[in-house]
């Protein structure tokens, strides 16, 4: 049994991967907490990436919910934003309550209602998640905000229109400040989301050999963060790259607070390395993996075949340009966990991909990268500061 604790953090998620890798052939169940205390930067999608890795493992067993009755289960689903995607991702598994009783069929209607509320940006709290489950063959599988006719991606203009109410919901904390901070950069936000989600559409629905993945999640999340700069530094004191980022000269509001928008994109596809190399095993060293991530970030490179390849390869490079001088992006894929601080390390189009600087998320090194147990898919989490203008 792997227990996800309520005080989950990115280092603790890394430990869950180690538990999964070390479970010696036995069937492994996952037990969810009653609540997660703080869903900080990239944490929800980092957890879901682990859960997708567990689901894909041929030794994955049951998903345990900490509830006794159906009424408790429905309330649990309604109050905790990590529960709905966990249930749908693990739908092919047995889902049981604290007594070991199967409760999946009783959760079907509540899950549908949750999806409908999500579709209208009507969930509790100000976080805005949008989930696409490629294995759900009903019309609920793909979000109407991201797809038209449930199969074709919307263009950037339509996406901007579709997500406008989602951004408004995220901005409920301070409508004036948010309106000012978002309005000037709305096109950039939409461009970033469109590029990154298009990447999941083209590269994360099938495995590295082209076979359809089942089950499969692709998702995006908007989330607002507000703290004093010192509080951000204290929160991320174990990550010197983030400490450097928050020490890089932001202008806070009159209360000394910094407003940040988080944009996170998740997929449980093959990940950068497997897709790019068309390999099923990580028979290369971690520095080679990071080099492949750099290749994927390089302007004129792509894992797509054919004449359209060069055009498709512009996507991630365009994201870096949009973040230039402002943003911070973390990429967790395969066995690597790296970041690029676009405020301290400005955008530059290099002559070759290996010149692109990426840092290890844990130790901040540019050449000594931590090797983690392999994760399914990719998570990209972005911090984007919102300018504060006094009304």
115-149 pLDDT per residue, tens = 999 999 999 887 999 999 986 665 557 899 999 87
> pLDDT tens digits for 206-244?
999 889 998 999 999 999 898 999 999 999 999 999 999
Closest CA to 363 of 336, 334, 345: 336
> How much is the average pLDDT of 360-366?
96
Predicted TM-score (pTM) of this structure: 0.94
Are the CB atoms for 163 and 145 separated by under 8 Å? yes
The answer to whether 80 and 53 have CB atoms below 8 angstroms apart is no
Residue 313 has pLDDT above 80, yes or no: no
Q: How far is CA 64 from CA 2, 6, 13, 125, 230, in A?
A: 10, 14, 18, 25, 38
Query: What local confidence, expressed as pLDDT, does residue 269 receive?
Result: 94
| Cβ-contact 217, 266 below 8 angstroms | yes
Taking only the tens place, the pLDDT of each residue in 161-205 is: 999 999 989 887 777 767 777 888 899 999 999 999 999 999 999
User: What confidence tens digit (pLDDT) does each residue in 196-214 have?
Assistant: 999 999 999 999 988 999 8
Quick one: residue 364, left, alpha or beta (phi over 0 = left, psi -120 to 50 = alpha)? Answer: left
Q: What is the pLDDT of residue 305?
A: 46
pLDDT at 387 over 80: no
pLDDT of residue 79: 93
DSSP string over 167-201: HHHHGGG-HHHHHHHHHTTHHHHHHHHHHHHHHHH
Q: How far apart are CA 291 and CA 287, in angstroms?
A: 6
List Cβ neighbours of 24 (8 Å cut-off, separation of 6 or more).
Answer: none
pLDDT at position 293, please? Answer: 93
Cis previous bond, 34, omega within 30:
no
Distance of CA 371 to the CA centre of its chain: 20
**Predicted pLDDT of residue 386:** 87
Q: What is the pLDDT of residues 62-86, one digit of tens each?
A: 999 999 999 999 999 999 999 999 9
Distance between CA atoms of residues 260 and 255, nearest Å: 15
Give the chain's mean pLDDT: 89
The confidence band for 283, taking pLDDT boundaries of 50, 70 and 90, is confident
Residue spans of the domains in the chain: they are 1-124, 126-391
pLDDT at 2 over 60: yes
What mean pLDDT do residues 280-302 have? 85
Q: Is the pLDDT of residue 303 over 50?
A: no
Evaluated on CA atoms 391, 224, 269, 353, the torsion sign reads positive
How far is residue 148's CA from residue 158's CA, in Å, rounded to a whole number?
10
Place of tokens 């000394």: 256
| Block residue for tokens 């609920």 | 140
């Amino acid at each position: 049994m792997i227990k996800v604790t309520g005080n989950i953090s990115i280092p603790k998620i890394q430990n869950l991967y180690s538990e999964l890798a070390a479970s010696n052939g036995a069937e492994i169940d996952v037990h969810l907490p009653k609540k997660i205390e703080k869903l900080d930067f990239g944490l929800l999608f980092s957890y879901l990436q682990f859960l997708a890795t567990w689901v894909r493992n041929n030794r994955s067993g049951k998903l345990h919910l900490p509830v006794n009755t159906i009424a408790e289960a429905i309330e649990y689903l309604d109050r905790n934003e990590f529960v709905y995607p966990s249930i749908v991702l693990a739908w092919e598994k047995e889902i049981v309550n604290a007594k070991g009783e199967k409760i999946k069929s009783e959760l079907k209607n509540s899950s549908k209602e949750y999806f409908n509320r999500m579709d209208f940006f009507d969930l509790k709290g100000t976080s805005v998640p949008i989930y696409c489950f490629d294995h759900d063959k009903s019309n609920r599988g793909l979000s109407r905000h991201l797809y038209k006719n449930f199969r074709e991606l919307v263009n950037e203009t339509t996406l901007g229109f579709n997500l406008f109410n989602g951004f408004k919901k995220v901005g409920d904390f301070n409508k004036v400040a948010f309106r000012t901070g978002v309005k000037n950069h709305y096109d950039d936000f939409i461009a970033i989301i469109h590029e990154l989600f298009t990447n999941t559409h083209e590269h994360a629905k099938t495995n590295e050999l082209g076979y359809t993945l089942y089950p499969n999640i692709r998702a995006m999340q908007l989330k607002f963060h507000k703290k004093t700069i010192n509080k951000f530094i204290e929160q991320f004191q174990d990550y010197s790259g983030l400490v450097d980022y928050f020490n890089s000269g932001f202008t806070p509001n009159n209360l000394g607070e910094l407003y940040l928008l988080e944009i996170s994109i998740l997929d449980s596809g093959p990940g950068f390395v497997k897709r790019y190399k068309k390999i099923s095993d990580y028979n290369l060293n971690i520095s080679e993996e990071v080099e492949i991530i750099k290749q994927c970030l390089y302007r004129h490179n792509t894992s797509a075949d054919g004449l359209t390849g060069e055009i498709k390869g512009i996507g991630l490079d365009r994201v870096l340009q949009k973040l230039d001088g402002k943003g911070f992006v973390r990429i967790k894929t395969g066995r690597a966990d790296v970041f690029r601080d676009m405020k301290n390390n400005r955008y530059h189009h290099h002559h070759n991909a290996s010149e692109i600087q990426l840092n290890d998320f844990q130790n901040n090194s540019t050449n000594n990268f931590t090797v983690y147990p392999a994760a399914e898919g990719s998570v990209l989490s972005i911090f984007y500061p919102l300018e504060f203008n006094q009304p």
